């Protein structure tokens, strides 16, 4: 695997510096913006990043310059759209699917939200600048490669409730990373995981363009699917929702629809930012967690935090639980199954045979019992199927873990542990402040100015400083320990869901720690004063 990625990595590493050094041409500026705006992360496939911290700082400054230049000179949103390269579209990041959703979301919505906030809050001068750049970024964002959660459709987990990820973006590294992801796109693993997918905004084609440009939505869609050899490239195919409802995978994932989408009358585009934001808000007002990843990892690890955390088993679960009646939770109709997690007590499914973990964790005199053998067989086949994926992902994760020390995204992922079930509505205040939604962005922006370049140690430090008790209630533990442990339940033959990227381990404690850590990861590009 790694070998196959090497070329990509090489390309990325060689390209990033170039782009950063050439600001002269608009197109390049745009590119840089795109990348930056895409919520790029600090993570790199190659842990031994190309630049030292010092050089990173320099580069970051350069990036900021780029942003400033763009704000002043780049006016062509339309052109921006054209910037996208085939590579960007066709390639899927082999590795970072999980985080893409977050990234995009931050850029598209959170940033936008931030911008708004800043507008509202005129008093904050620094925010103004940010807002401007944000806007640009948002616009450019559309060009990013569309990525779908690998998992979901193979979605890979999307961990986070879209928080602050935006903050990460503006570093040279980001650029590199994004590029890498794009290149690797096709390799994306199809892991059932997160919901948040990662799609990247499309280039700014207006809805009209989108429809007309696509020779055949279906064809296009298939093409992308094929490209990834998985469903990872899949995009939405909405016809009536205008991509402004949660029916739309893109919208639900917090990303704009992009060219590969086969949607009709799509409003989920940067050009309709206001509409999107308004709709989003409305939906969030109804359900604060609407845009939170559906699959939540109750425990994850942040590599940098400690070894133990990295060994944590990934116990994930669906935030709200499924309600399957006929699929026995053995098909992708089941969100739990689709997300690669076992069903939990919060599920209301009937005849659960979820291969990742059954609702009751054991066959207790229910239909399941009768079909035990059948279920077993199913599990076996399913498990085998996923086993490969899991292994692949594991490898990837391991690689990342070592390579990517705490990336904000990763951190944010950890935050995903949402404790409450759908029936128990989380305190809104908590939810909003924490993340998950566009509002999260505001928060992050405000918090922010954490410097992305800050050494990991800083994150650690910060996390340590924050007492667990301060953690918002909703984030504290998963409210239901049982659910959190669910995947590890006696019956669940698979203790580690496919998504679990980290080894087995007791999770609760680590999960909480992770959450704390994520707080610091809202670094923003704004200069610290």
Partner DNA sequence: GAGTTTGAAACT
Partner DNA sequence: CAGTTTCAAACTC
Contacts of 18 (CB under 8 A, 6+ apart): none
Residue 483 Cβ vs DNA, minimum distance, rounded to whole Å: 15
Q: Residue 417: is it exposed, middle or buried by C-beta count within 10 angstroms (0-12/13-18/19+)? A: buried
Return the number of the residue (136 or 358) whose C-beta is nearest DNA. 358
**Cβ atoms of 339 and 294 closer than 8 Å:** yes
326 contacts DNA (rule: CB under 7 A):
yes
Q: How far is the CB of 165 from DNA (least distance, A)?
A: 21
The rounded distance, in Å, linking the Cα atoms of 339 and 73 is 43
CB 514 within 8 A of CB 411: yes
Q: Is 172 or 346 the residue whose CB approaches DNA more closely?
A: 346
Comparing CB distances to DNA, the nearer of 63 and 316 is 316
Task: Identify which of residues 213 and 528 has a Cβ nearer to DNA in the complex.
Answer: 213
The CA distance from 205 to 196, in Å, is 22
**How far is Cα of residue 86 from the mean position of the Cα atoms in its chain?**
22
The CB-of-485 to DNA minimum distance in angstroms stands at: 21
**Contact predicate 337/529, CB 8 Å:** no
Q: In this structure, what is the dihedral angle of CA atoms 218, 219, 220, 221, given to the nearest 10 degrees?
A: 50
Q: Please give the helix or strand (H or E) that residue 317 lies within, else none.
A: strand 315-318
User: Total number of residues binding DNA (CB under 7 A)?
Assistant: 40
Task: Decide: is 246 part of the binding site for DNA (CB under 7 A).
Answer: yes
Measure the CA–CA gap between 387 and 166, rounded to whole angstroms: 33
> Could you tell me the two tokens for 105?
């979301």
Q: Which is nearer to DNA, 423 or 529 (CB)?
A: 423
User: Cβ closer to DNA: 176 or 235?
Assistant: 235
Q: Which of 26, 124, 128, 245 binds DNA (CB under 7 A)?
A: 245
Q: Report the C-alpha gap between 372 and 349 in whole angstroms.
A: 16
Q: How far is the CB of 320 from DNA (least distance, A)?
A: 6
Position 236 contacts DNA (CB under 7 A): yes
Q: Which stretch binds DNA (CB under 7 A): 57-65, 267-275, 315-323, 466-474?
A: 315-323
Spatial neighbors of 309 by CB under 8 A, at least 6 apart, are 300, 301, 302, 303, 502, 505, 510, 513, 514
- For residue 223, state whether it binds DNA (rule: CB under 7 A): no
> Is residue 169 a contact partner of residue 144, using CB atoms and an 8 Å limit?
no
Q: Which is nearer to DNA, 178 or 349 (CB)?
A: 349
Interaction mask 151-180, DNA, x per CB under 7 A? -xx---------------------------
| 294 interacts with DNA by CB under 7 A | yes
Q: Indicate whether 240 belongs to the interface with DNA (CB under 7 A).
A: yes
Dihedral of alpha carbons 416, 420, 421, 426, sign: negative
CB atoms inside a 10 Å sphere around CB 216: 10
Q: Is 219 in the site for DNA (CB under 7 A)?
A: yes
Q: How far is the CB of 208 from DNA (least distance, A)?
A: 17
The reply to whether 334 sits near DNA by the rule CB under 7 A is yes
Sign of the four-CA dihedral 209, 136, 437, 501: positive
> CB of residue 221 vs DNA: minimum separation in angstroms?
9
What SS3 state is found at 230? coil
CA distance 337 to 128: 44
Query: Per rule CB under 7 A, is residue 331 in the interface with DNA?
Result: yes
Q: How far is Cα 271 from Cα 73, in angstroms, rounded to an integer?
A: 19
Neighbouring residues of 176: CB distance < 8 A, sequence distance ≥ 6: 12, 13, 15, 16, 44, 50
Least Å distance, CB 327 to DNA, is 3
* Residue 325 sits in the site that holds DNA (CB under 7 A): yes
249 scored as a contact of DNA (CB under 7 A)? yes
Verify binding: residue 317, DNA, rule CB under 7 A: no
Which stretch in 12-20, 89-97, 316-324, 363-371 sits in contact with DNA by CB under 7 A?
316-324
Taking CB under 7 A as the rule, which mask of x and - marks residues 271-290 in contact with DNA? ------------x--xx--x
Residue 320 binds DNA (CB under 7 A): yes
* Choice from 22, 85, 237, 398 touching DNA (CB under 7 A): 237
Piece in contact with DNA (CB under 7 A), picked from 22-30, 228-236, 399-407, 467-475: 228-236
Query: What residues make contact with DNA under the rule CB under 7 A?
Result: 152-153, 218-219, 222, 231, 234, 236-243, 245-249, 252, 283, 286-287, 290, 294, 320, 322-328, 331-335, 338
């Amino acid at each position: 695997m790694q070998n196959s990625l090497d070329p990509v990595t090489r390309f990325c590493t060689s390209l990033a510096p170039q782009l950063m050094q050439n600001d002269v041409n608009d197109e390049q500026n745009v590119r840089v913006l795109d990348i930056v705006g895409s919520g790029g992360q600090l993570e790199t496939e190659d842990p031994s990043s190309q630049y030292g911290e010092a050089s990173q700082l320099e580069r970051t400054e350069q990036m900021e310059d780029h942003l400033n230049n763009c704000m002043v000179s780049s006016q062509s949103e339309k052109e921006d759209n054209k910037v996208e390269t085939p590579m960007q579209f066709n390639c899927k990041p082999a590795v970072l699917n999980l985080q893409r959703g977050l990234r995009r979301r931050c850029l598209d919505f959170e940033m936008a939200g931030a911008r708004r906030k800043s507008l509202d809050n005129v008093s904050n001068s620094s925010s103004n600048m940010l807002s401007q750049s944000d806007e640009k970024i948002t616009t450019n964002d559309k060009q990013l490669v569309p990525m779908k959660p690998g998992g979901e459709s193979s979605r890979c987990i999307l961990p986070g409730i879209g928080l602050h990820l935006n903050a990460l973006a503006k570093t040279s590294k980001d650029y590199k990373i994004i590029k890498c992801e794009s290149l690797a796109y096709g390799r994306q693993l199809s892991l059932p995981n997160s919901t948040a997918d990662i799609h990247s905004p499309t280039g700014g084609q207006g809805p009209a363009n989108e429809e007309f440009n696509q020779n055949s939505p279906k064809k296009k869609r298939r093409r992308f699917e094929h490209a990834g050899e998985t469903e990872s490239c899949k995009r939405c195919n909405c016809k009536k929702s205008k991509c402004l409802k949660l029916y739309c995978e893109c919208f639900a994932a917090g990303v704009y629809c992009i060219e590969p989408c086969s949607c009709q009358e799509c409003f989920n585009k940067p050009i309709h930012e206001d509409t999107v934001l308004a709709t989003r808000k409305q939906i969030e007002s109804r359900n604060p967690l609407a845009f939170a990843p559906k699959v939540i990892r109750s425990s994850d690890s942040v590599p940098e935090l400690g070894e133990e955390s990295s060994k944590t088993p990934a116990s994930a679960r669906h935030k709200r639980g499924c309600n399957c009646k006929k699929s026995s939770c053995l098909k992708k109709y089941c969100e739990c199954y689709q997300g690669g997690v076992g069903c939990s007590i919060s599920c209301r499914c009937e005849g659960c045979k979820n291969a990742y973990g059954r609702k009751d964790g054991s066959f207790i005199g229910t239909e399941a019992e009768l079909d035990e053998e059948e279920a077993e067989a199913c599990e076996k086949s399913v498990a085998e199927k996923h086993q490969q994926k899991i292994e692949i992902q594991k490898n990837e994760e391991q690689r990342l873990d070592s390579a990517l020390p705490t990336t904000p995204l990763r951190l944010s992922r950890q935050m995903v542990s949402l404790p409450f079930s759908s029936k128990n509505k989380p305190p809104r205040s908590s939810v909003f402040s924490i993340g998950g939604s566009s509002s999260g962005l505001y928060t992050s922006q405000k918090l922010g100015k954490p410097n992305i370049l800050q050494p990991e140690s800083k994150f650690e430090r910060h996390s340590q400083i924050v007492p667990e008790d301060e953690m918002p209630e909703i984030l504290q533990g998963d409210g239901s320990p049982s659910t959190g442990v669910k995947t590890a339940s006696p019956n669940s033959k698979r203790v580690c869901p496919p998504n679990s990227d980290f080894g087995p381990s007791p999770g609760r404690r680590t999960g909480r720690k992770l959450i704390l850590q994520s707080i610091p990861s809202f670094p923003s590009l704004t200069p610290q004063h």
